[in-house]
Amino acid sequence: MKLNHNYLKLNESYLFSTIAKKVAAYTEAHPDKKVLRMGIGDVTLPLAPAVVSAMKRAADEMGVKETFRGYGPEQGYPFLKKAIADYYKPRGVLLEEDEIFVSDGAKSDVGNILDIFDTDNTVLVPDPVYPVYVDTNVMAGRKIVYADATAENGFLPMPDEHTKADLIYICSPNNPTGAAYSREQLAEWVNYANRCGAVILYDAAYEAFVSEEGLARSIYEVDGAKECAIEFCSLSKTAGFTGTRCGYTIVPRELERGGVSLNKLWLRRQTTKFNGVSYIVQRGAEAVFTKEGMAQVQENLAVYRRNAAVLAACLDGLGIRYTGGKNSPYIWMECPGFSDSWAFFDHLLAKANVVGTPGGGFGKNGEGYFRLTAFADETATKEAAERLKTLFGK
């Protein structure tokens, strides 16, 4: 018996588990304190009524012999894949149903996709970024190189011809910095990947927050992307599905390496290791894409956007520099008076009872930064802004 020793190279616990443990220890020691949670990007508004009705109807169907369903297609029901394809159409992105794979969320697929790639690949990961990209590759023992995302490049690293990479992660709008690539910038990445035969793993989990013209919501808005990119998306942040679980991955038919279709490999992987998302959840997901569902989901997104504006206005008033908040639910702020983001985390928790995410948890370039989420409750967000003003106001 041999363990996977790569696991021993990981931090002892996952970033958000560490934060949850720290917060639990604090609340246990200070039960009288009202702690405001702006750490993990978890939604707080309920599912849209159209989604709930669809899931109730589906649950009723499951209770009747004639409409009961057992195993569904591992890649998702055609009704949901059609709804997803229709969602992309207005942006000029045409997808075939067999290019869409419904899953239980982007996080799982971002990790699982690595099954179809050799461990002897070099991966390029932006720094800072969502820790799952790094952790899943450490687990597999792959070589990781980093693309520095700093204030100097607007947290949007561009391809460097001197860097050799086989797999390239892009998260746009970015978690944690909130920076989002324009179509022109993404085109540079697509051309680079096609030139060197690399595959881009594009995480679009926050696409619904893009509000500025010219910014991409899908990498397939860029010519040539179908030849080099896999896109991951999720209803977690778009429609409050963090607890309901539904996402999708797009593997275009055009994407081949060495004459092998990646779509076929992923299909083989999914049919073997995944049994699909529950029928009830897929009916709920389908409802997100209806006119009614979309309108309701937009109402919730508007609340989160307002929260981001409240936090941004607070930091503006305090003269604390930040990015994000415009095309993203995250505010990426400098830690006033602190160079160590975990020390800042402890300070904010103890002095203002506000929880955020230390930038250092997203990579070395995240040191000195701190992430606040706009997914918290509206009242809590306003209160957190007031507490920041009290703590950092002159």
Contacts of 289 (CB under 8 A, 6+ apart): 83, 84, 86, 87
CA nearest neighbour of 50 among 216, 223, 289, 246: 289
What is the C-alpha to C-alpha distance for residues 250 and 202, in angstroms, rounded to an integer? 10
By rule CB under 6 A, what string of x and - marks binding of each residue 129-158 to ligand MLT? Answer: -x----------------------------
Distance CA 111, CA 249 (A): 12
DSSP 105-116: -HHHHHHHGGGG
Inter-residue contact 236 to 242 (CB < 8 Å): yes
- Shortest distance, CB of residue 42 to ligand MLT, whole angstroms? 6
Q: Which is nearer to ligand MLT, 312 or 376 (CB)?
A: 376
SS3 of residue 363 by DSSP: coil
- Residues 165-184 within binding reach of ligand MLT (CB under 6 A): 175
- Taking the complex as a whole, the smallest distance from the CB of residue 303 to ligand MLT amounts, in Å, to 17
Smallest distance, ligand MLT to C-beta of residue 388, A? 19
Based on CB atoms, which residue is closest to ligand MLT, 173 or 293?
Answer: 173
Q: Which is nearer to ligand MLT, 41 or 252 (CB)?
A: 41
**Residues contacting 69, CB < 8 A, separation 6+:** 61, 62, 279
Cβ of residue 329: shortest distance to ligand MLT, in angstroms? 9
User: Among residues 226 and 371, whose Cβ is nearest to ligand MLT?
Assistant: 371
Residue 191's identity, in one-letter code, is N
From residue 21 to residue 60, what is the string marking binding to ligand MLT with x (rule CB under 6 A)? -------------------xxx------------------
| DSSP label of 47 | P
| 296: contact with ligand MLT by CB under 6 A | no
Cα separation, 179 vs 323, in Å, equals 7
Here the tokens at position 302 are 């508007």
| Minimum distance of ligand MLT from residue 371's CB (angstroms) | 8
Q: Which of residues 71-130 bind ligand MLT (CB under 6 A)?
A: 107, 130
Closest residue to ligand MLT in the complex (CB): 41
Number of residues that bind ligand MLT (CB under 6 A): 6
Binding region for ligand MLT (CB under 6 A): 40-42, 107, 130, 175
